[in-house]
Homo-oligomer: A and B are copies of this chain.
Amino acid sequence: MTMNADTSLARLALKETAESLEKQLTKLLPKADGLEARVVEAMDYALMAGGKRLRPFLVMQGAKLFSVSEQAALQVAAAVECAHTYSLIHDDLPCMDDDDMRRGQPSVHKKFDEATAVLAGDALLTLAFEILADEKTHADPRVRCELVAAFARALGAQGMVGGQMFDLAAENRDLDQFSITRMQNMKTGALIVFSCEAGAILGKADGRRRHALKGYAHDLGLAFQIVDDLLDKEGDSEELGKTAGKDEDAGKATLVSLLGVERARTQAEMLIAQAIEHLEIFAEKADVLRSMAHFVIHRAS
């Protein structure tokens, strides 16, 4: 059961997630009719540009393990995607990674302007917290507070923002495997772990199950990042929807630049196997998450 490398379950669930997520995001976007409508347009533009919706998928599937209502899970999925989108908008800014393309179309600061991009990111981050604190996310305010606190830790100076700061500050420096892994756990891992953990929080899961799910997310996140770096090195920009070869040009150390393509791929495969092992406790209820692990290693964009 566990080693079935079929990715079709994951593909189907990703497609379903994307559809319901986009409906939910449309409902949650603030209304604005004055000149401030420009920032809402930019938020909408960035949110609706597509993307795999991996993090929302993880929220939905994590929540399913604990029989959480789809409504609750969709709220958290939307919050997570708002935060992910905010990070992409800010990371693409000229003063950061300076990327003109994202998800196959002009990034927000190219389509609008830099000021609007900064503000759209700020507003998306704020909206994410507003969604989590809303009664619709969970009837129990204790659960909502726990979500807000865990989310903030995943995003802050010891999480995503810290990882991005580290990445920028480390340009043109030689990093060892430990430092690169630590940086990626912060930069992309923390939000991926939160995405899975959110299901356990919503479902008031016991410590063992929560720990297992976080273990899966941790390994999946690292593997995902290695594959991302492999695609950045080998992929073409059109298929990726963003500029390929950026990391190398920017002098950024990745596990691929450190270990080489072959060993990096082996490392990713090992992480995927390990991720799947963590799911044992959930038996066949975790088949879609298993399928996602295979999808991550086989994806082409």
Chain A residues near B (Cβ < 8 Å): 30-32, 34-36, 38-40, 43, 86, 90, 93, 95-96, 113-116, 118-119, 121-123, 125-127, 129-130, 132-134, 140-142, 144-145, 148-149, 151-153, 155-158, 161-166, 168-170, 179, 182-183, 186
Contact = CB atoms under 8 A, between A and B. Distances in A.
Contact of A134 (B40, B149, B156, B170): B149
B32 A162 contact: yes
Given A95-B113, A152-B133, A162-B32, A157 B40 contact: yes
A161 B32 contact: no
Give how many copies assemble into the complex.
2
Q: Which of A153, A165, A169 has the most CB of B within 10 A?
A: A165
B127 A157 contact: yes
A134 B249 CA distance: 42
B130 A152 contact: yes
Nearest to A90: B118
22 contacts: A30-B157, A30-B158, A32-B157, A32-B158, A34-B182, A35-B165, A35-B170, A36-B161, A36-B165, A39-B157, A39-B161, A39-B165, A118-B118, A119-B164, A119-B168, A125-B126, A129-B151, A129-B152, A134-B149, A140-B141, A144-B148, A145-B148
Contact of A162 (B39, B141, B149): B39
